[in-house]
Structure 1
Amino acid sequence: MKKQRAFLKWAGGKYSLVEQIIKHLPEGDLLVEPFVGAGSVFLNTNYERYILADINHDLIALFNTIKEQPEKFIDDARVLFNPQNNQTAAFYELRNFFNYTKSDYQKSLLFLYLNRHCYNGLCRYNSKGEFNVPFGQNYDRVYFPEDEIIAFSEKAQKAEFVCASYHSVMQNAQKGSVVYCDPPYVPLSVSSSFTSYYSIDFGIDDQKNLATLAENLAKKDIPVLISNHDTTDTRDWYQHAKLHSVTSRRSINSNGSGRKKIDELLALYS
């Protein structure tokens, strides 16, 4: 089966690792993702139903917009992808509009624009909740992901998108479901730290709490698969899971040749 790409760029996206993840995901009627991100696992699995969650309201609003009115969204979003908007001044003007508009629909259009035009496709907010990733500068031509949006909208009819915390989503998981967790990864070094997402820190306590929640769900016959960097800490946190070490490439880097292979860990609680 040909893999389906997400329509968003995403730091830590699982497109390159999706075959390995699928190999270790148990069967079930419902896949629950507390950290859905761009949705690569969702797009490349075949569960009957999905509950896909994230704490980022803008991301969930975008997914619901595409689920409910894909044709209108595509027509309106395409207008933003033109040479005039692929310039520094236009980018910051649109980024400012994104940060201050109260319209979920306008934010959804601009989220896609910013994702495709900003530096490395990152998603980052400041302490005020404002999107603050700078202009990408070096994109001669910016790809408009129409085909990927259409594929997402079709698959989205099987999904419920929820803006909620990971612990709330996991505590509400029901028997018969499978949970896949792709949390912000533990940093491999100080310079590579990416624990702040949507103005909320995901620190060591959250990493440990996630492992505890997974253990508790497994005791209720709800299997949980967690992905993270393969480190001494993660192996300690996930010591009660079945561990699988896999190799992948970093999905986002400003220099394609700099996308080095890294070791990741898949921890299965079942």
Structure 2
Amino acid sequence: MSSPGLTLLLLLMATPPPLQPSSLAPPDTPEGKAAIVGLILSALERATSFLKKRLPEINLDGVVGFRVLEVQLKGVQEKWAWDPQLQWPSLRVGKLVEKLVPLLHRSIFYLKLSDPKYLREFQPIIQPGFWKLPHAWTSTDASMVYPTFESWDSFSEERSDSCLVQLLGTGTDSSQPCRLSDFCRTLMTKPGCSGYCLSHQLLFFLLARMKGCTGGLFCQGQHYMNLFCANMMDLNRRAEAIGYAYPTRDIFMENSRPSDGALD
């Protein structure tokens, strides 16, 4: 499956042209923070309206992105509830969650019509409670960036999907979750990957963490996530340096999904 980057894409589509720096108060002031919060919430509200209008056309990858957004909004609401200065934005976030939850519930109906097999295989990751916020944000380590990136012809979305299904335990063989074939071990830990291969490697270990996989290779899960995040950040910097020219723009959005818990 594609990584849950659709949310970011929708936000970029829905966000109005950026304001000039002079039109915003400094971000380290209460006024500046309030302005930034307002811009972000307005973009999220437009993205949710977009979801409502296009709900019959939504695919599973998009639902995953909005499910992650729901979890993040609830986390923000819980944190802001303790700050008197953020009570109004907190209420606004709460209303947004109230709109989003029933839309996500209704999306299952359309997914059953469009691709029931895909839904059956990946339904666990769109269920309430699957996604959890990281306990802490981490900074990427530039020393973990690969000296060179390799092209690896063995990678394909279909092969990646088969490994994710194996991890989730939702295949037709009724296997237990967290199992790992030699092929998937090689695919998901191959060094030097870039592009979609790299983001799918991170997604694999992220799903393993959400699923509670801890034995064997998954004992090193945090190491691999740190490694992949560092290289994704490096690729994003390269994309920024060339003005997000095609096809780096799509990779940039893929790498910028809001679920990996990494900061520059």
TM over 0.5: no
Shorter-chain TM-score range: under 0.3
Max Rg structure: 2
Q: TM-score with structure 2 length normalisation? A: 0.26
Q: TM-score with structure 1 length normalisation? A: 0.26
User: Which one has a larger percent helix, Structure 1 or Structure 2?
Assistant: 2
